[in-house]
Structure 1
Amino acid sequence: MSYFPSLLLQAAGSTEQKISILYLLKEGGVLMIPLLLCSIVLVYVFVERWLILSRTSRLDPRFMNQIREYITGSNLQGAKSLAHNADSPVGRIIEKGISRIGKPIEHIEKSMESAGKLEVYQLEKNLSILSTIAGIAPMFGFLGTIAGMIILFFNIQHQGFSLENIAGGIYTKMVTSAVGLIIGLLAYVAYNYFNAQINKQVNKMEAAAVEFLDILQEPAR
């Protein structure tokens, strides 16, 4: 127990040294490389999906009313142009339905359903990457910390017990766990946020498809 006073003196002196974040990241070890790659991919996918979903979510609230006016007025070309220019999942589904007008209602419904599945696939593109990062980033972090602890005990065994060995093996290697958890948490939040936005768009597509089919059957009522 006689080593405690000397350890306290060393610790008191070490507090005067400023800790650099870049230094900690550098000392995190080789497993900081995959974590860095995960963070880069996370930022890319987040920006890419955010831009796509922001663009596709824009739709004129009067869109379906205008479609109704065109169809009831037998202006199918006008309705098709309006749907095409909407440049949104709802617009493309309605455009597919308009292009099938004249065929049995069941055929139109199936065509719109197929178009809807394609739109959902496009909206969900790259979301699996976020899910994967949310799962593996913390694992990389924990692995880095475990590797650091192994090095710590190896140094203690071969070099003896010292504050330097403990500090070098713990506080720097714990960085990988912290970074991994942060990246994983951000990826998890982004994944759930985009899923919620996609669900909103899917609900809009379903509502628009039902309303469109109702419009087609109105003259027969």
Structure 2
Amino acid sequence: MFSFIQLQADTITNAASNVVIEKIAPNTEISTLGFLLKGGVWLIPIGILLFYTFYLIIERYLFVSKASKIDTLLMRDVRDNLNSGNLDLARSIAERNNTASGNIIKEGILVIGRPIVEIESNMDRAADIEIGEMEKHLGHLGLIAGIAPTLGFIGTISGVIKIFYSISVTENISIGNISGGLYEKMISSGAGLIVGIIAYSGYHLLNGKIDNFALKIQKQILEFVNIIQRS
């Protein structure tokens, strides 16, 4: 009798286990690409902005890094040649330097013999031109920092509108229907924010690098003017 009861208990336990197993949710894993594609068509312009952002950051960083190099030996060589009265060699040294600093010093050498104020003004204008070249297209990063999150927000809003329209037509207000559609549409907002943060960070990091160069070049202009005055 006890064995019969035990057998029935084991049978019921196995049946319950099978029911639990059958009710386990199916595998819902999804690839990263598949997850992103659920964000809708608004991810296309956001993706384009992302690639353009990376291109601008890399291109501008390489350009600014090369142009903003300050050769510590340049001023020494220019000073030695200016003190010996060899202006042509001093100008050649500045030209061969092939940096923004060399171009600015060259502009100062070209107007030696004129008033100090005019020499300094000429070098300041050359510095402004070089800095302007470094800042070229940086405004695009600032624009992307504002546009990308807005595009993501628009994508989310359009998705929410579609969800509520679907509810009004089908009268299906289940949590699964709402949350499923909503999380997909919020992907575009998250993607837009990420692109905006990258563009914003790149914009300010590059501007900081340019500001650092501007400070150093002003010191070099002052040093050049002092060399001319002493000469």
TM-score, normalised to structure 2, is 0.85
> Cα gap change, 1:66/1:169 in structure 2, threshold over 3 Å: closer, same or farther?
same
Mark the structure with the bigger radius of gyration.
2
Determine which of 14, 38, 49 is the counterpart of 1:27: 38
Measured in 2, the distance between the counterparts of 1:109 and 1:141 equals 49
Measured in 2, the distance between the counterparts of 1:201 and 1:122 equals 13
Where in structure 2 are the equivalents of 1:1-221 lying within 5 Å? 16-159=27-170, 160-219=172-231
Q: Report the AA paired with residue 213 of structure 1.
A: V
Measured in 2, the distance between the counterparts of 1:198 and 1:15 equals 55
Gap runs ≥5 in structure 1: 1-8
User: Does the CA-based 8 Å contact 2:78-2:90 persist in structure 1?
Assistant: yes
Q: Once structures 1 and 2 are overlaid, which stretch shifts more, 185-194 or 48-57?
A: 48-57
What RMSD, in angstroms, separates the aligned Cα atoms of the two structures?
1.8
Q: CA deviation at 1:51?
A: 0.8
Q: CA deviation at 1:60?
A: 2.1
> Cα gap change, 1:123/1:191 in structure 2, threshold over 3 Å: closer, same or farther?
same
User: Does the CA-based 8 Å contact 1:29-1:173 persist in structure 2?
Assistant: yes
TM-score, normalised to structure 1, is 0.89
Q: CA deviation at 1:101?
A: 1.0
Gap runs ≥5 in structure 2: 1-19
> Cα gap change, 1:50/1:120 in structure 2, threshold over 3 Å: closer, same or farther?
same
Q: Report the AA paired with residue 77 of structure 1.
A: D
Q: Once structures 1 and 2 are overlaid, which stretch shifts more, 157-166 or 198-207?
A: 157-166
> Cα gap change, 1:14/1:177 in structure 2, threshold over 3 Å: closer, same or farther?
farther
User: Does the CA-based 8 Å contact 2:156-2:189 persist in structure 1?
Assistant: yes
Q: CA deviation at 1:58?
A: 2.3
Measured in 1, the distance between the counterparts of 2:25 and 2:212 equals 54
Q: CA deviation at 1:162?
A: 3.2
Q: Report the AA paired with residue 214 of structure 2.
A: V
Aligned residues between the structures: 209
Q: Once structures 1 and 2 are overlaid, which stretch shifts more, 151-160 or 36-45?
A: 151-160
Measured in 2, the distance between the counterparts of 1:214 and 1:179 equals 53
SS at match of 1:172: helix
Q: Report the AA paired with residue 170 of structure 1.
A: L
User: Does the CA-based 8 Å contact 1:27-1:172 persist in structure 2?
Assistant: yes
- 1:114-134 alpha-carbon deviations (Å, 9 max, x no partner): 111111110111110000011
User: Does the CA-based 8 Å contact 1:38-1:137 persist in structure 2?
Assistant: yes
Measured in 2, the distance between the counterparts of 1:65 and 1:15 equals 74
